[in-house]
Amino acid sequence: NEQALQSTAMRAREHAILEKYVAMVAVHSDTTALAACETAASDQLAAARNENISLQRRLQVFEEERLMMRARLEEVTQLHSDKARLEHELFLARSEERKARAELAPAQTTADMWKGKFHEMRGMLGKSEVEAKRKEMELQTQ
């Protein structure tokens, strides 16, 4: 009986040792798996950080382009405003020109009449007589 008890106790110890060994192997396996998971997570985190940096750089470029486009839009808006103002000024200047031409028309007709008379007189009197008359008129006006 004692031998049977010793044999049972021995088996119980062997079984306990095997259970501890299996538990240690399981812990080792879990530790290895955990380390692999940590490595994979770390790699994923590094990749995510790199992608974040890349996206931040792209965002910065897009923001700079947006600011440039806004400045160009403001320039275009200013150019449209300047164009409208200049077109209005041109319209006013043309109106003034038409008005001035209308006011000038009678004087121009008179000048054309006198020019015609001058050429007519020049033809009649000859050049030397016209020059003498012109000098005489200049002396009178002085």
Whole-number pLDDT of residue 127: 63
Average pLDDT estimate for 61-73:
97
84, two tokens: 């409208």
Lowest mean pLDDT among 7-16, 19-28, 65-74, 124-133: 124-133
Q: How far apart are CA 38 and CA 75, in angstroms?
A: 55
Q: Which residue has the higher pLDDT, 94 or 132?
A: 94
User: Above 90 in pLDDT, residue 63?
Assistant: yes
pTM for the whole thing? Answer: 0.43
